[in-house]
Chains A and B, each alone.
Chain A
Amino acid sequence: MYSIVSDLLPGFLTQYWLALAFAVLTSLKFLALGVGVGFTAGLGLAIAQLSPSPWLRGPVVALVELIRNTPLLVQLFWIHFALPALTGIGSSPERSAAIGIALSGACYFSEIIRGGIQGVPKGQRDAAAALGLSRWCIWSRIVLPQAVIDTLPALANTVLSFFKATSILSVIAVPELMMTSTRISARTGDPIGVLTLMTLLYIFVGALLTLMLHRVETAFKLRSTR
């Protein structure tokens, strides 16, 4: 039975399935980093973008616009080559990739959350202040929860985009799914088979992510309507 199955599978799969599994995990690791650090920092940047102080707002808006208006590929090159030359601190592909994807995540999430915050009627903040609630309480219990729930579809969309964007990390030799697949195809001399399998893996993981994000969205919507 086993031999029939292994005969049907392309040779590279039996030889390199473990490497491919690790590659998918590496892609997901960078996605988690971009989304985790990005979302947390994005909350802070979103609030800073709405600050009345131009000294705080100005640099943050400049950073967000700079990152949003340049391709991730260009940012990665700059972080990997120009930044170490400027600071004198060396970088590895993994470190540059982590900085790049986290920075990009923070700026994209910040823009989405800022939109969500502005969607919460200002009257609620005034009313909460009139009731004597602290600033911390107003932001953490009233404004941000609504802002995040309202923007869940946009946030989910960004998570999916970032999953696909992890393939760009291959250009600085991060061993994620794209890089590993290219390596395997060069070694086995079967680019069509390997790249087809890679596409299927992206579709599979992407569909799984969509399903998970949809679940999260419904759960939050249910909770908020209770």
Chain B
Amino acid sequence: MKQLGKLLQVMLLSVWAVLAGTGTGSADTLADIKSRGTLRVGMADSTPSQSKDPNSNEWEGFNVDMAKNLAEQLGVKLEIVDASWSTLIPGLLAGQYDIAMCDMFATPKRAQTVAFTTPYMNLGFSWVVRADFPGEDAAALDDPAIRIANLSGSAMGDIIRKLAPRAQVKDVASDNVFSPHLEVASGRADATLSDHYNNTQFLKRNPSVKARILGGDKQFQQTPMAYAVRPDDQPFLNMLNSWIIYNQTTGFSEELRHKWYGF
């Protein structure tokens, strides 16, 4: 019983250590990276932002190119540490890597546990309409004659009803996220709403369909995506923010976005 009590004590202590982030030792990660000579980046799979090619076992994607650039700027070697989505934040707090570089939305809830950099990209929604839909104004969709396809069970339904309350909503029940797009392409619906990445992917993979994105590349209700570091990491965070803004100014991030996301 005594042993069990001791073991429990050790377990609780270590859990506390992890939560408090004391397992990492020093709080100056930037200095640690420099003296170590390696930047350790935690990644979890999500195509095309960052994923491991099952054949070559190499990481590739938007954030992999960003991480390579970051290591280059710091003048150190890059080491990508494999994580999964459920272990990404615990791994960061436990000091297994210096930064989590994934396609993570920077929400206020998450920001209470980790420190987010300045956003490197925003992802929002966009409308896909029939190719012959007149004009570029989304207000024209709020009309009783307009049929809007919606993937039933998705979060889009509520947004569609809010944005175009007078239009007819056509629920499509399917496992395929692109089935509402097919409704538009086949002329059975006039429009559909989805996240901008899904929309561009659909049009990229099916270049001959009779559909287009309304208003060109216009996204709305954008949510910022940012990298995460440990909350007490101010010097490293300062450096990262300057690096992100620099890359946005030079057009490097935009170039990568075109290469990996196609928009």
Query: Which residues of A are in contact with B by a Cβ distance under 8 Å?
Result: 15-16, 18-20, 23, 58-59, 62, 66, 77-78, 80-86, 88, 90-91, 93, 170-173, 175, 179-180, 182-184, 186-187, 192
Contact = CB atoms under 8 A, between A and B. Distances in A.
Nearest to A186: B47
Contact of B55 (A16, A62, A86, A93): A16
Contacts of B192: none
A149 B214 CA distance: 72
Centre residue among B18, B46, B53 by max chain A CB count within 10 A: B18
A171 B55 contact: no
Contacts of A88: 23, 25
Nearest to A17: B55
B233 interface: no
B46 A186 contact: yes
A222 to B, nearest CB: 43
A173 B51 contact: no
Chief secondary structure at chain A's binding surface: helix
Contact of B51 (A80, A183, A192): A183
A85 B7 CA distance: 16
Given A59-B3, A82-B15, A16 B86 contact: no
Contacts of B10: 86
Contacts of A187: 47, 51, 53-54
Nearest to A85: B23
A187 to B, nearest CB: 5
A182 B45 CA distance: 9
Contacts of B87: 77, 80-81, 171-173
Interface string B107-150: 00000000000000000000000000000000000000000000
A85 B17 contact: yes
B84 A171 contact: yes
Contact of B3 (A20, A58, A175, A192): A58
Contacts of A84: 23, 94-96
B55 A18 contact: yes
Contacts of A192: 175
Contact of B7 (A15, A19, A66): A66
B52 A82 contact: no
